[in-house]
Structure 1
């Protein structure tokens, strides 16, 4: 027992001596014990290194991979891709400064936080995933429309920016399409002079070389938009269509998307490639993709963008403004596409959009883009309010809502009316027209209905005259987004309805007919490809005019709509449904109710006989000034199927108003 008690004491007495004898001696001979440091390559790879500090022999890994084995105590790991991007940026910036691509002096590379954020929104398949030269704080005069007086041509290039900024250093190709440096320069100049101000989200100092280095998709998107009316190569757009569309899908399939990719998607959604099939019109789909990609990058919340990234970061004022501009561009494009096809906005207003419309804060946009955003925001508000009212049966409430929206529109005009250019004037008129078409939905208040519809008629006349003046001065319809031309077509259809109704006694019918003819001329000018949708719209308008003139009963009735489910664009789709009923359907499937009936014969294959149909409508009266061939030979434009109207680039034909008794459902809905 005593031994068991004394043994711990003995151990305890020996323990201090062991500690004293083992620790002090090495400390006196070597005050600081050396620890092994991994070589550069092993530290970079986060691998264990067996290199000895007392020998020059490389470690096993470096010896095996034939790498230089060096030990650096101050070395810190870095991301190789980031380093490559930074070097590529610096090389591109130096090249730009040497070639005089728009910068007078080169500035230092931006800080780490900004560089990382830029890397989160770049094209993955390419090396240039860092900040591109146009992102650097290079002093370039801003291109803005707020200095131009109202009505002045807004597309003249800024005088303080060198015309050589769009010079290309080398030829580019996609598929079998090749472009020379001179053609690239021409197309970039066309884009920034004529198309850019419709959606001002791309830096006007962008050069072809820096654009291609940052994103080939954005480069080819700009080329495609400018090629719509490139007289030196009329067939260029059709040649680019397949290859650029493939590039779009290939780029979208690789995550994450970049802000350059989003910019390219928005351009193609506003100026899509010509198509004669509804199934291949990708505009509505693209604006949804742009919205989703922007939200994934946090562009809709630039003040807390780090919450959507993998690291903490903070945007500097320049990058913050770029994020707000791109998010606003998504809103404008989505509203332009959705309103023109009669759909509610896919991007409802949010806090950032509201702040961007207000002056004197960090979200405030340049006047050109801000005015555009304000107008599109009003269109979205009007359509959303009236879409909610559609579910209610109280008609008086609808009239009150329209009156309130008209008051809001008047406030908007007062807010920006004294500063706007012709582009904003046209967009304001389009917003007013869409709002006033809701008077067609009124049933039980004939006075208010007539007054509102006549207001819409006057707005349509003013819009057409303004577009005609813009066309003669700077080619408006040649460069405007497709959605704008949709609204212009709608104005012609509204005028046609009023002239051939009981309201004709309140208007000058001759003036309306001249405006109608003007739209047909404008649509021909807007045509970008032989027998495309715009030219076929001319055929539809001409034939519908003849139909309205041939039905004398309509002249004693108030103008009405059968399709009421397409919001502010219901008139457009109602007219297209009417054309379908009169010309696009076989006679044995639907009775013809015209006084002068149009007989459509069938050939042996069950398809309407084009020659018989063409002959049968030659007697229909046409408005003065319309070429006879438009009304008399509508199906000789490469349209083997007279039902082509279902497949043209209006994804808004459907759905049909289920409460309508005068229209039938499409054949594919039958079971």
Structure 2
């Protein structure tokens, strides 16, 4: 008997043939083979199938993929805007000089290359030319239904790098608008939001875009864009904050977001920042270390500045997770002018902490003497910093630092005059105003002024106002200079304003009214009220105290309802006086409504035309307490002591 061999018709499935595995699909052609059922593979019997080598198949697929990419690139027009934006330093690599050398340069520079009517008012500025956009057509963009045309974007980018970037040189002026948008839409819109502050071709953009850009900033922690771009965008919005509109003031919480994003990405330890990355990366090069160090320095400067302008205690560098070696290395790596700014902000932070520890709410005679020693120590450190200041911009930084430290003198009551601080305070305040005036004379407008200039102007002017309305004004001080500087500050604030709802505009309203008031800083009997009533907001207390006096007399909603307390003896409180009482004489026996020999007299709001101090206004000045808590209680009632403790 002859045995039969299996017929060649017994075929294996393609999966088994590819793997050279035994296949039993021929036993039941209608069902998958045992192996395919086990590995859950698609069991197919194909006659023309030919086994392929794995490596050859992968190589063929890679070659096919590369061919497709090449065809795709060749079918599209050349586009260079997708190249990444480099994280730049303050060096000449950026093509941008330091703020002072740009703005206050004595050497005339070429006029703008674009029509000067883009800005209001029309000016010519000594500055570095803006970026050129030849060869890369800018695309129009839309944000929440607000469209910004390509021409407007080009205009705004040129305006930004010509007028604004000199105060915060952290962006590449050669990168195109399309590049910024492709890499970080938030940073792109932050640039647009800053630059449109005085864009006369479309004055509606500023407030139309404000809320949407602020929302982007608050959501930036969820962005997939590079963290450095997010930090840069927040730095811009905190340096040029939007005027008040239909959005709450989020400047202070945004400062915290800035600080924490920077720390989350290891900028506070630049040499070890790679250890904070989610993916394995090499240690930073020397250039990367410099870039990260300077970005961290800018972040600290802006964060501490936000805290000071909002009356909060800022964290010093020593409290931000740096050991002494890293702290020293930071100042050695960054540009000298950035290091000076950082040292100035550090002094303000440390002085604020020291004065708080000494006590500001209520001070005994010994505490006032201790405070005077503390402030003189820090003023001496400012003297050392002034020796390092070589440009007008650096001298402005040291003057603002000195002004912030000297403002704590006004917390004193018993030793305020005897300590001899008034002449020094007056000189500092006038020098700050002189700097801003010189900037205005050289540039021609102040709408691009960063927030530190607005705060300096407000702090200096309210300080001068307090001195001029006090009895010490007749004790050998340079009163004529102080009065001229105060009036200059009012005019500068008007030029600095970009919207009727911004802080500069409201500063003008308050300064005019309080200057012409015969009741400001006066008790009911006409005697001087020398101490501050707002004592919990550090450097900001002097400003808020002036706002409170203005509110008492000129806010229609507070008349005959809210009271202003006055001290009887020491820190105790006696009866209150209400707006509308008889006028009292000033320190020289006049009503202070007009200064003898001065042709400048500002109008005072009257009747229903008075500027109303609403909740939005209080939010601008970071008012801490609600109206009902702060003003409504009778000082003679049993609840007055509770309210007094809150103040």
Q: TM-score, normalised by structure 2?
A: 0.72
Q: CA deviation at 1:495?
A: 0.8
1:325 aligns with 2:277: no
Whether the aligned pair in 1 keeps the contact of 2:85 and 2:172 (CA below 8 Å) is no
- Please point out which of 131, 134, 150 is paired with 2:86: 134
Q: Partner of 1:27 in structure 2?
A: none
Q: Partner of 2:506 in structure 1?
A: 536
Q: Partner of 1:300 in structure 2?
A: 268
Q: CA deviation at 1:238?
A: 1.1
Alpha-carbon distance in structure 1 between the residues aligned to 2:529 and 2:314: 31
Whether the aligned pair in 1 keeps the contact of 2:157 and 2:192 (CA below 8 Å) is yes
Q: CA deviation at 1:150?
A: 9.8
Q: CA deviation at 1:583?
A: 2.7
Q: CA deviation at 1:153?
A: 6.9
Alpha-carbon distance in structure 2 between the residues aligned to 1:150 and 1:174: 32
Structure 1 residues 232-241 or 582-591, which shifts more?
582-591
Q: CA deviation at 1:222?
A: 0.5
Structure 1 residues 492-501 or 165-174, which shifts more?
165-174
What whole-Å deviation, never above 9, does each CA across 1:585-627 have from its counterpart, x for those lacking one? 5333235799998549xxxxxxxxxxxxxxxxxx982665667
1:202 aligns with 2:171: yes
Distance 1:560 1:95, change over 3 A: farther
The aligned runs of 1:413-452 (5 Å cut-off) are: 413-414=386-387, 416-417=388-389, 419-420=390-391, 422-445=392-415, 448-449=418-419, 451-452=420-421
Q: Partner of 1:270 in structure 2?
A: 239
The aligned runs of 1:243-258 (5 Å cut-off) are: 243-254=212-223, 258=227
Whether the aligned pair in 1 keeps the contact of 2:551 and 2:558 (CA below 8 Å) is no
Alpha-carbon distance in structure 1 between the residues aligned to 2:502 and 2:188: 25
Q: Partner of 1:364 in structure 2?
A: 333
Structure 1, unpaired ranges of 5+: 1-48, 77-82, 102-127, 601-618
1:407 aligns with 2:345: no
- Please point out which of 449, 454, 476 is paired with 2:423: 454
User: Size of the alignment, in residue pairs?
Assistant: 544
Alpha-carbon distance in structure 2 between the residues aligned to 1:448 and 1:75: 88
Q: CA deviation at 1:201?
A: 2.5
Q: CA deviation at 1:548?
A: 4.1
Give 3-state SS (helix, strand or coil) of 2:147's partner: strand
Q: Partner of 1:71 in structure 2?
A: 54
1:338 aligns with 2:331: no
- Please point out which of 15, 18, 28 is paired with 1:52: 18
Whether the aligned pair in 1 keeps the contact of 2:554 and 2:605 (CA below 8 Å) is no
Q: CA deviation at 1:665?
A: 10
Whether the aligned pair in 2 keeps the contact of 1:495 and 1:516 (CA below 8 Å) is yes
Whether the aligned pair in 1 keeps the contact of 2:316 and 2:349 (CA below 8 Å) is no
Alpha-carbon distance in structure 2 between the residues aligned to 1:490 and 1:362: 28
Whether the aligned pair in 2 keeps the contact of 1:457 and 1:495 (CA below 8 Å) is yes
RMSD between aligned residues: 4.6
Alpha-carbon distance in structure 1 between the residues aligned to 2:397 and 2:323: 18
1:390 aligns with 2:342: no
Give 3-state SS (helix, strand or coil) of 1:173's partner: strand
Q: Partner of 2:49 in structure 1?
A: none
Whether the aligned pair in 1 keeps the contact of 2:105 and 2:126 (CA below 8 Å) is no
Q: CA deviation at 1:258?
A: 2.0
Q: CA deviation at 1:245?
A: 2.6
1:514 aligns with 2:466: no
Q: CA deviation at 1:339?
A: 0.9
- Please point out which of 96, 118, 122 is paired with 1:143: 96
Q: Partner of 2:454 in structure 1?
A: 485
1:497 aligns with 2:497: no
Whether the aligned pair in 1 keeps the contact of 2:194 and 2:237 (CA below 8 Å) is yes
Alpha-carbon distance in structure 2 between the residues aligned to 1:529 and 1:166: 36
Alpha-carbon distance in structure 1 between the residues aligned to 2:135 and 2:466: 47
What whole-Å deviation, never above 9, does each CA across 1:384-441 have from its counterpart, x for those lacking one? 2222222786423222211211111111111x22x22x33222221111111112222
Distance 1:362 1:495, change over 3 A: closer
Alpha-carbon distance in structure 2 between the residues aligned to 1:523 and 1:183: 27
Q: Partner of 1:4 in structure 2?
A: none
Alpha-carbon distance in structure 2 between the residues aligned to 1:516 and 1:634: 26
Structure 2, unpaired ranges of 5+: 1-14, 22-35, 45-51, 60-65, 108-124, 567-575, 582-590
Whether the aligned pair in 2 keeps the contact of 1:257 and 1:293 (CA below 8 Å) is no
Whether the aligned pair in 1 keeps the contact of 2:99 and 2:393 (CA below 8 Å) is no
Q: Partner of 2:347 in structure 1?
A: 378
Distance 1:70 1:425, change over 3 A: farther
- Please point out which of 185, 203, 207 is paired with 1:234: 203
Give 3-state SS (helix, strand or coil) of 2:142's partner: strand
Q: CA deviation at 1:653?
A: 5.1
Q: TM-score, normalised by structure 1?
A: 0.69
Alpha-carbon distance in structure 1 between the residues aligned to 2:486 and 2:149: 42
Whether the aligned pair in 1 keeps the contact of 2:520 and 2:550 (CA below 8 Å) is no
Whether the aligned pair in 1 keeps the contact of 2:94 and 2:172 (CA below 8 Å) is no
Q: CA deviation at 1:647?
A: 3.3
1:152 aligns with 2:108: no
Give 3-state SS (helix, strand or coil) of 1:178's partner: strand
Alpha-carbon distance in structure 1 between the residues aligned to 2:352 and 2:289: 30
Whether the aligned pair in 1 keeps the contact of 2:551 and 2:613 (CA below 8 Å) is no
Q: CA deviation at 1:480?
A: 2.1
Alpha-carbon distance in structure 2 between the residues aligned to 1:63 and 1:246: 54
Distance 1:597 1:284, change over 3 A: closer
Whether the aligned pair in 1 keeps the contact of 2:518 and 2:592 (CA below 8 Å) is no
1:173 aligns with 2:142: yes
Q: Partner of 1:10 in structure 2?
A: none
Structure 1 residues 562-571 or 223-232, which shifts more?
562-571
Give 3-state SS (helix, strand or coil) of 2:376's partner: helix
Whether the aligned pair in 2 keeps the contact of 1:171 and 1:181 (CA below 8 Å) is yes
